[in-house]
Amino acid sequence: MAKKEDLRLQRLGTVINQTSSRQEKALVLALANVSRMLEEKFPGIRLKLETQWFLSTVVSNLRERFPEAEFHYYHERSSMRPDGGILSILDTEDKAYPILIAEKKNQGTNNLRAAEGKTKQAKGNAIERLGKNVIGFRTALMGESIFPFVCFGDGCDFEDGSTILDRVTTIAMFGKLNHEHLHNTGLKGIFDRGTFYFREKEWDEAEMTDKCYSIAEKSVFYYYSKHGEDSFVNPKNPQANHQSKLL
């Protein structure tokens, strides 16, 4: 099976319920589309998809980058597992640089309960779980001037006027929702907000592909500008770098 097809199928068996299965599948397929588009846009690019980052690895990198600060974790197997995974570009030394971290959240069943004649119930906690991952990835990418994180949220809890939207806004460091925030802003880039697309209507594969590609493409240009294109593609032998490393 081709590597691209591996990417399209590898995470389809990790879902929790039927709704999550359909929605997570759409996001995984969107990332497969993005990887194909990137390979066409940037000949010689090498990509790596990871389903999780272990906290031990993140802390090890932080200790190396910030030796003056103290970092801690408890369990070797603890990890951050975004729904869509972490897509990175590999340099010629096989070091990975994240260009897209994708999440998908659905929250709210009161529309279904109303159709069944049932009373409303308290709104869910998918957003609180999201906040944990955002803090972790935001910290892991300290030192970069971009935060290529995107979350697609849908469900009746995110309808216009819902107070839950302010929980998302808080996670986004009070940035505007449904607006791309890739590059850090503010004095010395203190606001690494990330991108949060939230609404009641379900996001489909085509929409997520378009928005994910926008972030990933700009992220590649960012690393090319920062480190030089030759750091990622060997100009003397670009074909040697062409095959993606999709794990």
The 10s digit of each residue's pLDDT in 88-111 is: 999 999 999 999 999 999 988 544
Predicted pLDDT at 78: 97
Give CA–CA dist 110/228, Å, rounded: 51
pLDDT for position 126: 82
Q: Where are the domains of the chain?
A: 3-246
Residues making up the chain, counted from first to last: 247
- Say which amino acid occupies 51: T
Instruction: Compute the distance between CA of residue 147 and CA of residue 158 in angstroms, rounded to an integer.
Output: 23
E runs forming strands in 29-164: 47-50, 53-54, 79-80, 85-90, 96-106, 149-154
Which of the 8 DSSP states describes residue 49?
A: E
CA distances, 220 to each of 11, 91, 96, 115 (Å): 24, 11, 12, 46
In terms of CATH architecture, what is 3-246? Answer: 3-Layer(aba) Sandwich (3.40)
CA angle 209, 211, 10 (to 5 degrees): 35
pLDDT of residue 129: 85
3-class secondary-structure state, position 162: coil
| Rg from Cα positions in the chain | 19
DSSP 203: P
Query: Which pLDDT value is given to residue 142?
Result: 95
Q: What is the pLDDT of residue 218?
A: 98
**Per the structure block, which two tokens stand in for 178?**
């449904």
At 109 the pLDDT is 55
- Per-residue burial over 55-79, b if 16 or more Cβ lie within 10 Å, else e, is beebeeebeeeeeeeeeeeeeeeeb
- pLDDT for 23 equals 67
Residues of the chain where predicted confidence (pLDDT) is lower than 50 = 1-2, 4-19, 110-114, 116-119, 121-122, 243, 247
> Residue 48, Cα to own-chain centre: how many angstroms?
13
| Reported pTM | 0.85
Distances in whole angstroms, Cα of residue 151 to Cα of each of 73, 75, 193, 197: 25, 26, 12, 6
